[in-house]
Amino acid sequence: MSQVRAFSYQSLPMRVVMGPGVLGRLADELDAAGLKRVLILCSPPQQALGEVVAQLIGDRAVGVCPHARMHVPVESAAAARDRVAELGADGCVAVGGGSAIGLGKAIALELGLKIIAVPTTYAGSEMTSVWGLTENGRKRTGKDPRVLPVSVLYDPELTLSLPALASATSGMNAIAHAVEALYAPDASPVISLMAEEGVRSLAAALPAVVAKGKDLLARGDAQYGAWLCGACLGATTMSLHHKLCHALGGTLDLPHAETHTVVLPHALAYNQPAAPDAVAALQRALGGVDDPATALWELAGRLSTPRSLRELGMEEDDIDQIVEQVLAHPYANPREVTADGLTRLLSRAWAGEPPAA
């Protein structure tokens, strides 16, 4: 017998502006947020773009901080907070991928300043209230509404110079957000629809983005998918996949998006037997495939991304400490997480073998 629907859903209090050339509307977004003195945050490779953004808004840019780092080390966050105080900034504009946006979140968490995000990858972290900080080889994460950007500008023209590998892995990272949202304990019909559409859009767009780097339509579709997938992560509870990636990234300093790309098919394969509704949604999103986990592993292969943790610098001897760390502080998960199951999952991911339940 069918059950009456029962769920809760809360929309994110933020503004999204999407389309070619929308970077030119940044001044309007600053006005809407009431910001008059902002620090531009970016990673070292994005410093030139950070300077362009600073020039675009003139005197309202008090400086460019090009020191964002992957996994947001607490030292980097402290230095950026000091820079904000020194310059008297009343907000930040984070330009780039997860490193820059993560640094903005760290500043917002500590100082309560408003953040505007201008993403140049497809990871989707700009759509979430999730923050992360790494200290002494451990990555701490949490959720706080203060870190949610007040506005996000998705301009596909800013992604045209994004290398094929970064496009592919950041897109797979976003897909991982939607996959976990589909079997999250606090999923809702609204989020499930967004997750399915986000996976469909990204899975269809990424091959064209990688094969034809100047395809603005494909890049726009990928940003659309990233928006949806990121919003899913922002509205639901993270599960095994994200716990594994946080442990691998924080402890071993593995590259963020590449780690998500490698782990996703294996974590999904582990959970598929306990998540039939999620499997059905992913089957539809991926074009009627039988096994979504294998389909995502094959998609990663077509995109020429890494498919083993060994390629990312992990040693086989590291498996035991990651298993121990994940079991010590587990996340909610549809299937019971055991030491044996985790060891088998990580062993296959380390070796680059196809995923298996």
Q: Which two tokens stand for residue 311?
A: 């390629």
Which two structure tokens, joined as six digits, stand for 102? 């993560």
pLDDT of residue 3: 66
Output the DSSP codes for 264-287: HHHHHHHHGGG-HHHHHHHHHHTT
Q: What is the pLDDT of residue 129?
A: 87
Pick the CATH number of 15-159 from 1.10.10.10, 3.40.50.1970, 3.40.50.720, 3.40.50.300: 3.40.50.1970
Q: What contacts 46, CB < 8 A, 6 or more positions away? A: 66, 95, 96, 100, 120
- Residue 323: HSE in the Cβ half-sphere, 13 Å Cα cutoff: 17
Residue pLDDT, tens place only, 204-229 = 999 999 999 899 999 999 999 999 99
Residue 316 tokens, joined = 């086989």
Pick one of 3.40.50.1110, 1.20.1090.10, 3.30.300.20, 3.40.50.300 as the CATH number of 164-351: 1.20.1090.10
The domain limits of the chain are 15-159, 164-351
| pLDDT given at position 136 | 86
State residue 4's pLDDT score.
Answer: 78
What per-residue confidence (pLDDT) applies to 2?
A: 57
Q: For the chain, which ranges sit under pLDDT 70?
A: 1-3
Residue type, position 321, single letter: Q
Check residue 137 and give its pLDDT: 79
Please state, for a pLDDT cut of 90, what percent of the chain lies above it.
Answer: 86
Whole-angstrom Cα Rg for the chain = 19
DSSP letter for each residue of 166-199 = HHHHHHHHHHHHHHHHHT-TT--HHHHHHHHHHH
